[in-house]
Each structure stands twice: as structure tokens, then as C-alpha cells.
Amino acid sequence: MKNLLLGFLSSLCFMLPYGAAADPSAEPTYSFSVAPQFERRKLFTIWQPIVNDLQRRTGLRFELVTSLSVGEYDSDVRNGRYDFIYVNPHMVPLIDKQPGYQPLIRDAAPLYGILVVRKDSSLQRVADLHDKTLAVPSMSALGASLLLRAELDRDFGVKTHPIIAKTHSSVFLHVINGLTDAGGSVQKALAEQDDRVRDSLKVLHRTREVPSHPIAGHQRVPAKVREQVRQAFLEMSADPQGRMLLAEVPMREAVTTRAEDYQVIKALKLESYLEQ
């Protein structure tokens, strides 16, 4: 009987849910995810040192994760998958209430979209792009797609055929390799490219300016932790080593931000361009 009882208890242990025996006092690990503006290797090369510095400054634990495409990333954000995010400004008015992401910091420099073509392209004016193909990272990318296509349509009467390239880096390669007539991106992404890429392109148009990508925290994360993260990025931006790390994003000067700063984007009424 004793052996039967021991066998039963032993088998019961294997039936316990995974992690049930974990120490409830253990430090949580917060997911930190960034919009896939660049290919995965470059993204982690830029952001992993920043996340490491964030851990050092806060004493908290973070895991850097991302999605393979901008569209997939936007879907994950809408579902509240991550604890902290570096996100498309267009998303802020859509996610501040539900699932509940609150912007913490952003770059003081504004964001604006750019329209690029090959340097040797015969396309010389914005009007030349009518009925041409346009590579974009995703339909929902703010400066690179929504704002750019809205201005082409509203200000120039130019309609294009968007081709989803998935990342900003891929947009530039689409244009350089002749896969599309033009590409939509943002100046910050172009500035991060190799000289070979930048020297192969020319900018035909730049959009109006809007607030830059924020780093935001989900409301399930304790307010104290979100404030620690905000202060850590402000401190990072204030010292030379931290500024060097953030310059790779690029983020030149981190400033405090809030959801209200992004209402200007909502007023642009860009929703009709999400699926065009």
C-alpha cells in the first residue's frame, strides 16, 4: 500500500502544470518589442544593447522580441502581446484605451515620410508617379505609407499601386533592384542605410511632420515599472554612452510624451488609405 501511495504521489507531480513549482517571488521578465523597420539581424544589433542598458539602469529584466513583418507586428500590438513597445505613431490613438498602451517617451525630432526613386530614374516629379508601383513596408506604416499616399492623392492627384515590402530596408532594395518604380519610407530609416543604398536613391517628396515613434508600456505593467522605464530612457538620452546607443534607432533626444500628443494624427483621417 505504501508503494502504491508513493507511486500515485509521484505521478501527480508530473501532472502539475509547467511552472507551478516556480518561485512566485522571482523577478518578472518584461517583453520589449520594436517595430521591424529593418531586417531582423540589424534590428537586434541596434536594440539589444539598448535593452541591456535599460536592464542595468532599472534593475529589471527584459526580453527583446519582434515580429517578422510590420503587419504582423501591428496585429500583435493590437492584441496587447507585448509589455513594452516601440511603435508606429499611427497606432497610438488605436491602442491607448484598448488594449491599453500608454506612450512614455519619443524622439524630440518629428517623423516625416519620404518618396524615393532610383537616382538614375526617369521619374523626376511627383506627378510622374501616377499609376506607378510603390513599395511600402506595410499599408499601415504612417510616414512611409499612410501619410505619403494620402498626400500624393490629396495634394497631387496621384494614385499608385502599393507593393508590401515588409521592412524599410526591403523598400529601398525593391527600388534599387527595379522591382518597383518608387518606394515609401521615412527619413530616419534612410539615414540608417549603408552609403551604397543612400547613394543609389533620390528623394522626390517629403511629407508633413508628425510626432515620432513612442516607446509605450501596457497598462498591465505596474505604473511604478512604467515610470522606471521612462526615467531610464531619459537618463540614457542625457549621457554620452546612452546617446550613442539611441542614435542608432535613430532617437537623438528622448522626451516625455503622452497619448494626447498623437491626436494630431487621428485628425488627419488616414483610415481610408489602410487598404487602398
pLDDT of 8 strictly over 60:
no
pLDDT tens sequence across 30-41: 999 998 877 788
Domain map (residue ranges) of the chain: 29-109+211-269, 113-206
Three-state SS annotation for 125-150: CHHHHCCCEEEECCCCCHHHHHHHHH
CATH number of 29-109+211-269, picked from 3.40.50.2300, 3.30.300.90, 1.20.1060.10, 3.40.190.10: 3.40.190.10
Task: Write the DSSP symbol of residue 29.
Answer: E
Architecture of domain 113-206: 3-Layer(aba) Sandwich (3.40)
Residue with cell 537623438: 252
pLDDT of 109 strictly over 80:
yes
Average pLDDT in the 173-190 region? 96
Three-state SS annotation for 169-189: HHHHHHHHCCCCCEEEEEHHH
Average pLDDT in the 38-67 region? 94
Confidence of residue 19 (pLDDT cuts 50, 70, 90): very low
Per-residue burial over 24-41, b = 16 or more CB atoms within 10 Å of its CB, e = otherwise: eeeeeebebbbbbbbbee
pLDDT of 94 strictly over 50:
yes
pLDDT score, position 71: 77
Share of the chain above pLDDT 90, in %: 75
